[in-house]
Structure 1
Amino acid sequence: MKLFHRTFLFMLALFSIVVLVVHISIYLFLPKLYQENIRSDLDRQLEELSAVIGSIDQNACDNLLRNYAKRNQINIIARIDGEQKTFQGTAVQIIPIDVVDSEFQLENVKDVESFILRSRDVMSADSIPIHLQIGTSTQPGREAIRTTLALLPLTSSIAILFSVLFSWLYSKWLTRPIQNMLQVTEGMKNLDPDAYFQVDSQDEIGTLFLHLNQVYGQLWQTIDTLEKEKEHIFEIEKSKVDFLRSASHELKTPLAGLRILLENMHLGVGRYKDYSAYLPEAINTVDQLNGMVKEILNASRIQGEAERAAKDDLCISEELSAAIKEYEILARSKHLHIEVKMDVEPHLFMNRQHFQRVLSNLIGNAIHYTDAEGAIRIEGRTGELSVWNSCVPLTDEQLVRIFEPFYRPDFSRSAYSGGTGLGLYIIREILDANGLAYSFRPQDQGMCFSISLPGIPN
């Protein structure tokens, strides 16, 4: 049975019990109320008789009491100047008793359950004392049954109509939020992004709907975060595959050349018989391969470490001095002019080793790709660090691929002449992992690499 039907039947049963209790209460308490009303009527009638008797003489009292008893259907016992008289207004015959305000049961009298008697002393107009007792028979049980049965059809009809109507309305009102919850949660179960509860109240139901909306919103945020993380992991895995494919291709050529060289030396083919001349060349090739392998290992390790590495509060001026000093001899050999200009004292919150790697690669590339007697300019401005070097600007086609691993825009430069093509790739990995924006573009007859520095004070 569904919730609405259970609630409706429960409320109907509850109201039925209430109606039954009310009718039973009427039956139980009506006799007492009925007797109280009889006593009140008798007291009122005594007041009326007292007022009238006080204005007439003794002789007129008999006719007054006789007529009053018949008209009001009561029995009157009067003791007038020592003489007791009875005036019957009902079929019940009573025996006078000297009991004031007594209530007693009558036996062997048909249809009479009890008899109520009230008394009072009055004085006639001619100063004759009169003791009045008026009484009437009662049937409280029968009156209760008669009254209950008389009202039962009307009260039962009203009670049933009210119970059914109110039970239906209350059940409908009570189950509407639950039915709405069922519909909305069905959409939430199917991950419908538009599924939410309309909060129209501030009671417990409204608070529950608000909490469910918040939970569902957090669930969607978690799903969105997981989707982005999945895409990020997919991109990382794809980047690793591409990197390994490029690395294997990059190593294949020098390894093949080394094998040919060693094989010719082993077979003593032609000029390769001169071991003393070609062994150093083979060793040099091995050293170059060893350097490439180190660069490849460093690049692959940075992919996983850049996001998790501990961060340091860096003074960029100090880090620049150390990086420039590393390439000081090479810069002098090419007679390069290096200018450092800092408009502010920039700071950055980043891992020191990774930032040193970025600066080292940037300055190393600038020195390697700048012609002899050229210029390199390093500037620190508000929100930006830039490294510019004079050279032939790269074309748009070259700029599209410039951050790919092992890509070298100058095809005369190769791993044999010292370049691996991993410098800008490593820079990109580190800066992306730290959320730093960057750009590499032609500028003033040269190329300029700019890094956004959010840590620089405004």
Structure 2
Amino acid sequence: MKNQKLFSKIFLYTFMVMFFVTVIAHVCLYFLAPQMTLSTNSFLGGAIIESDINTGLLIKSAISKALPMSLLGCTIISLICSLIFSKAMSKPIKQISETTEKMEQMDKTARCTVDTNDEIGVLASNVNMLYSSLLSTIENLEEEKQKVSEAEKSKIDFLRAASHELKTPVTALNAILENMILGVGKYKDRDTCLLECKEITGQISFMIKEILDTSRLDFTQEKKNFESFDLSDSLPLICEPYQLIAKAKKLYFSLDIQEKCPIHTSKKNLEKILSNVLSNAVSYTNPGHRVTVVLTADQIEVRNECVPIPREKLHRVFEPFYRPDFARDRKDGGNGLGLYIVDTLSKALELSYKFEPMENQSGMCFTLFLS
């Protein structure tokens, strides 16, 4: 019985119970019916004993003749009823079993049919809920895995670029020191060369600090540090140091706050994004030209009049340590990490942006969408 299918088990159990009841009923009828007749006639008191005995024998004889046909008929009825009952009981369970096999194969369309509100219907509903929860968990894990994988790849690419970027000044410093030791040409003037070496070491130190700060960026930023604030209140403070730099470089810097801008995000990281964008805008704008910041309810624009970056190179400006051809010098073009930080933090905060040449004048426009 242990190895039989559920349908067979239900059928056998049901048929055996019904057949047992049928046999007991016929046995009782065979033995008790004549006795009940005798008792009834004796109770009425008007019949002869011999007649009573003959009546009992006749009843017993009639039952004996009808018993095989009656037993056969009841057995057939029991068989049919057992088949119907077994099929009705095993069908929904079989459907659940077939569906769970599909679920085991991770068929996302697999669902148990819920036709009733009884225990089997509740079981089917629970299986559906469990499978939906499992699919949701797997999907979330896959998303997290993808994010972690992308973060690891970004960090590896960043470290490779950092190593390459540090290689240049280190090689230059090493060459200067070797020539100083050998006393070749202009390198005999050690005082001048030491000042140049000190300047290079300062550049290396600054680059290492920037690289370490950038490497600490959380590519899988959690939302637990998010807070609600109005950007229109803090934007003047963010722009203030760059207004001073612009004034020193003889640039025109204008801030236009058109509307209130309530937002729920990481205030610290948003300020870092805007600081890097403003720093780039001021750095790449020539004297006598303009930097404009415009804030509305759902976006902020930073426009600067400069030599536009060709569209075919726009996708590269967000790579670490990339500087356009017209600003390859570190003194003019920065360290090439600003827009990389902007891109990384924008993705972490789930904020979209666009960076493109301005249409009506020569320059670039960075737009950060805040909703």
Please give the TM-score of this superposition, normalised by the length of structure 1: 0.74
Aligned to 1:5: 8
1:351 to 240, 252, 266: 266
What is the Cα deviation at residue 37 of structure 1? Answer: 5.2
1:328 to 243, 246, 249: 243
Distance 2:177 2:101 in 1: 72
Distance 1:365 1:6 in 2: 79
What is the Cα deviation at residue 315 of structure 1? Answer: 2.8
Distance 1:350 1:265 in 2: 54
Equivalent pairs counted in the alignment come to: 366
Aligned to 2:366: 449
Deviates more, 1:7-16 or 1:171-180: 171-180
Distance 1:423 1:342 in 2: 24
Distance 2:220 2:241 in 1: 24
| 1:309–1:274 CA distance, 2 compared to 1 (3 A) | farther
**2:22 aligned with 1:23:** no
Distance 1:406 1:140 in 2: 117
Contact 2:151 2:219 in 1 (8 A): no
Could you tell me which amino acid in structure 1 is paired with residue 180 of structure 2?
M
Aligned to 1:34: 37
Aligned to 1:117: none
**2:174 aligned with 1:259:** yes
Could you tell me which amino acid in structure 2 is paired with residue 21 of structure 1?
I
Aligned to 2:285: 370
Could you tell me which amino acid in structure 2 is paired with residue 354 of structure 1?
N
Could you tell me which amino acid in structure 1 is paired with residue 148 of structure 2?
I
- Higher strand content, 1 or 2: 1
Could you tell me which amino acid in structure 1 is paired with residue 71 of structure 2?
S
Counting aligned pairs with the same residue, the percent is 35
What is the Cα deviation at residue 425 of structure 1? Answer: 0.7
Aligned to 1:421: 336
Aligned to 1:394: 309
SS in 1 for 2:216: helix
Could you tell me which amino acid in structure 2 is paired with residue 23 of structure 1?
H
Aligned to 2:93: 178
**2:350 aligned with 1:435:** yes
Distance 1:223 1:259 in 2: 53
Contact 2:232 2:259 in 1 (8 A): no
What is the Cα deviation at residue 422 of structure 1? Answer: 0.6
Aligned to 1:133: none
Contact 1:358 1:430 in 2 (8 A): yes
What is the Cα deviation at residue 163 of structure 1? Answer: 1.1
1:282 to 191, 197, 220: 197
| 1:306–1:198 CA distance, 2 compared to 1 (3 A) | closer
Could you tell me which amino acid in structure 1 is paired with residue 200 of structure 2?
T
**2:156 aligned with 1:225:** no
Distance 2:221 2:81 in 1: 68
SS in 2 for 1:391: coil
Deviates more, 1:241-250 or 1:271-280: 271-280
The CA RMSD over aligned residues, in Å, is 2.3
Contact 2:304 2:363 in 1 (8 A): yes
What is the Cα deviation at residue 306 of structure 1? Answer: 3.6
Contact 1:436 1:452 in 2 (8 A): yes
SS in 1 for 2:327: coil
Distance 2:61 2:143 in 1: 82
Query: 1:363-419, CA deviations, whole angstroms, 9 ceiling, x for partnerless residues?
Result: 111100111111111111121111111112211111121211111114433324461
Alignment of 1:25-424 (within 5 A): 25-27=28-30, 29-31=32-34, 33-35=36-38, 38=41, 112=50, 137-138=52-53, 142=57, 145-304=60-219, 306-307=221-222, 310-417=225-332, 419-424=334-339
Distance 2:43 2:310 in 1: 118
What is the Cα deviation at residue 261 of structure 1? Answer: 1.3
Please give the TM-score of this superposition, normalised by the length of structure 2: 0.91
SS in 1 for 2:324: coil
